[in-house]
Amino acid sequence: MSDHRLRAHAYTADVDTRGASLRTFAHDGRPLVLPYPNGAPRPSYRGATLAPWTNLLCGDGYRTAETVVRFGDDRERLHGLVADADFALARRTPSRIDLVTEVTPSDDYPWRLAVTVRYRLHVGGLTQTVTATNTGDGRAPWGCGGHPYVVAGPSPLEEWTLRLPAAQVLLVDPDLVPQRLLDVAHDSGRFDFRRGRPIGDTLLDHAFTGLETPDARIPTVQVRDPSGCGVEIEMSEACGWVQLYTSDDEPGDDRRRALAVEPMTCAPDAFRNAEHAHDTGIVLLPPGASASATWTIRAIGE
- Read off the pTM: 0.96
Least confident of 167-176, 225-234, 255-264, 287-296: 167-176
**What is residue 215's predicted lDDT score, i.e. its pLDDT?**
60
Q: Are 53 and 143 in contact (CB under 8 A)?
A: yes
Residues 6+ positions from 41 with CB-CB distance below 8 Å: none
Residue 1 confidence class, pLDDT cut points 50, 70, 90 = low
- Ordered by start, the domain boundaries in the chain are 3-300
Q: How many CB atoms lie within 10 A of CB 39?
A: 9
Q: In whole angstroms, how far apart are CA 206 and each of 67, 216, 281?
A: 29, 25, 16
pLDDT value at residue 218: 80
Residues 6+ apart with CB under 8 A from 215: none
Q: Is the pLDDT of residue 247 over 70?
A: yes
> In CATH, which of 2.70.98.10, 1.20.5.510, 3.50.50.60, 3.40.50.261 is domain 3-300?
2.70.98.10
Bridge partners (DSSP) of residue 150 are 33, 259
Amino acid at 178: P
State the Cα–Cα distance between residues 271 and 280, nearest whole angstrom: 8
HSE-up of 285 (CA within 13 Å, CB side)? Answer: 24
**Of the ranges 1-5, 56-60, 68-72, 220-224, which one carries the lowest mean pLDDT score?**
1-5
Residues 6+ apart with CB under 8 A from 91: 97, 98
Q: What is the per-residue pLDDT across 188-212, written as a single tens digit (0 to 9) for each?
A: 999 999 999 999 999 999 999 999 8
| Structure confidence at residue 176 (pLDDT) | 82
CA–CA distances in Å: residue 102 to residues 2, 16, 86, 173? 18, 17, 10, 33
256 by Cβ neighbours in 10 Å (0-12 / 13-18 / 19+) ranks as middle
Average pLDDT across the chain, whole number: 94
The CA distances from residue 70 to 38, 73, 174, 184, 299, in Å, are 38, 9, 24, 34, 44
